[in-house]
Chains A and B, each alone.
Chain A
Amino acid sequence: MLNGARQVVLRGRCWKVGHSLAVDGPVLPDRFVKVRETDPEILKRHLFEEVNQSFAQLVKPGDILVTGRRFAHGNPHAYAFIGMKALGIGLVTESITWGSFRNAISMGVPVLPFCPGVTEHVSDGDDLEVDFGAGVVRNLTTMLEWSFRPLPVPLLEIILIGGLRQQTKRRVMELTHA
């Protein structure tokens, strides 16, 4: 699914959610935030359970979460993005708040952050292909495609290596052996 150098392309089912989903609660239930749960295997089973009960059971790696405006607003907790990374899904948002965008990249979740109107072009259950480096969303169900602002190369590199933690470890190792 991550094809070749500097390309991040995912293909899968579209999971569509609405506008203004707070990161604590609708995206991930508060109880996991309170206990500062960081186990990806636990977190991935509870994403969106307040919004869509079947999501966690049916979602597959490569699936694309398409959201409305102001996705994951609130205190910028990263737990939900640890869960998304564990699921292997991508994120396409009409807009996402600054702190959550940073957390998504940091945890290694591919994301197209500014895709105005994208929720009008896709339906829940559509077959989608998203090229994050090119900023292209293809709806394979309707055979239409749209271009948005691509994810910049330095951030694609973080996604490709699996997150900022992995990239930092790699850089420290390179510096140590240089």
Chain B
Amino acid sequence: MGKTIAEKILSRAAGQPVSPGEIIFPCPDLITVHDGHAVNLKKDLDEFGIKKMWHSERVIFSCDHYAPLFNVQEAERLKSTRAFARDSQIGWFFETGQGNGHILPMEHGLVRPGMFALAYDIHVTNFGAVGALAIPVNYDISTVCALGSVWVEVPKTLRINLVGKAHPSISIHDIAQNIIRDIGEEVGNYTVFEYGGPGVLDMGFSGWMTLCNLPIEIGAVSAVIEPNVRMLEWVRQRTQEPFEAVWSDPDADYESVKEYDLSEVEPLIAAPPQPDNIHPLSNYTGLPIQVAVIGSCVIGYDDLKQAAAVLNDRQVHPNVRLVIAPPTQEMLQRAIRDGLIDIFLRAKAIVFTPGCGPCIGGRGAPLADGEVCVATITRNDPGRMGSPQADIYLGSSVMVAASAVTGRITDPREFNQC
């Protein structure tokens, strides 16, 4: 029986052929840690008696959660993180404001097809957008930095083929929500989502990230896009380093194979209190909102562009504050060059620092009691963006932009006809 992409990457990392259900100790090509955890990692390594990190040149720190810095305590924390990074001689250090750590390493050509990464933070699964396999291990990342590995149960793979063309107002966020809603936690838990098919090829890097970002919310271990010509070209533009892309064998043993016709996808929204509480957008249209946020590791440049198409020559509703945090500086620069930022500012949106800011505690867009927010962020647990008495609805950047203009949750298809 052949192997899936995930099984092949894990076999290489473990130094032996592996199969689903096995407990293995794979060695990562990359290790990522963010600024919310780096100082705890230092404490752990000190406690373990580790003077020198395992392959510190493979370690990436991203200062993305405290972006921008708000106070002296955070400045002290960053100072400690920077000193720790320097003393440990880690491979890469992304300073606060440069952007989101689940995207930056791909933009810098550090993540390449076929690579294997272990991470502290769950949304590292984004690395699947370039055909790499990235698995979050939470606090266990300290053991990885000390010893070079930690246990991983080889996950089963779900193959997801996308076919057909979506309506122009349907975003890839809707498609991703549709898939995790359909698959559900019972089937999705402990799996890797492997995406392929003509619908995937049509998307591009931005959409591939979104597809790889959402499955973790129903318990998936990771997600990966089957390498394609556009992906390999995207990576080669960013690095001279060699890489070996990995494809599944024709007789790979998938847990199941599913096909989705994109022409059938309707706009969706995740209501509180969790990101997989997904419903047709029409169930919530008309609900007044006070805050709208476009940002986080869920989205890429294409989402900023789609939001700009909605906001062009329109104004944010007077009852709403719209915060747009381009996920990385590269996307921000491109948005400036392409005139998107001009559109956002003319619409009276607040353009915010690249990074995780609004998604973590509502930095730049905190919610007050009773407020309702629509956002492209990762999660909508009560209190995630401020008051636990505020409600967060998750959806696409076009829906968020349209809702920011009308002041109520709005179907972007209906909006475009106005």
Contacts and interface: CB of A to CB of B under 8 A. Distances in A.
Contact of A169 (B49, B136, B189, B379): B49
Interface stretch (B137-145, B157-165, B343-351): B137-145
A98 B185 contact: no
| Chain A contact surface mostly | helix
Contact of B185 (A22, A24, A70, A106): A70
B222 to A, nearest CB: 10
Interface in A11-51: 22, 24-25, 30, 34
A76 B138 contact: yes
B117 interface: no
Given A22-B274, A98-B190, A168 B138 contact: no
B219 A98 contact: yes
Contacts of A164: 140, 143, 150
A100 B136 CA distance: 12
Interface in B284-306: none
A57 B144 CA distance: 37
Contacts of A34: 383
B368 interface: no
Contacts of B381: 22, 24, 74-75
A25 B272 CA distance: 14
B221 interface: yes
A97 B185 contact: yes
A99 B383 contact: no
Interface string B182-207: 00011001100000000000000000
A103 B274 contact: no
Contacts of B136: 76, 99
Interface in B130-157: 136-140, 142-143, 146-147, 150-151, 153
Interface in B3-30: 23, 25
A172 B23 contact: no
B243 interface: no
Nearest to B150: A164
A143 interface: no
A95 B188 CA distance: 12
Given A74-B274, A168-B146, A172-B49, A98 B220 contact: yes
A168 B142 contact: yes
A25 B382 CA distance: 10
B47 interface: yes
A78 interface: yes
Contacts of B139: 78, 103, 106
Interface in A89-113: 95, 97-99, 102-103, 105-106
Contacts of A60: none
Given A97-B185, A99-B138, A103-B138, 20 more contacts: A22-B274, A25-B382, A74-B274, A76-B138, A95-B185, A95-B186, A97-B189, A102-B140, A106-B139, A155-B23, A158-B151, A164-B143, A164-B150, A165-B47, A167-B143, A169-B47, A169-B48, A171-B146, A175-B147, A176-B49
Interface of A: 22, 24-25, 30, 34, 69-70, 73-76, 78, 95, 97-99, 102-103, 105-106, 152-155, 158, 164-165, 167-169, 171-173, 175-176
7 contacts: A30-B382, A73-B219, A76-B136, A95-B186, A99-B136, A165-B48, A172-B48
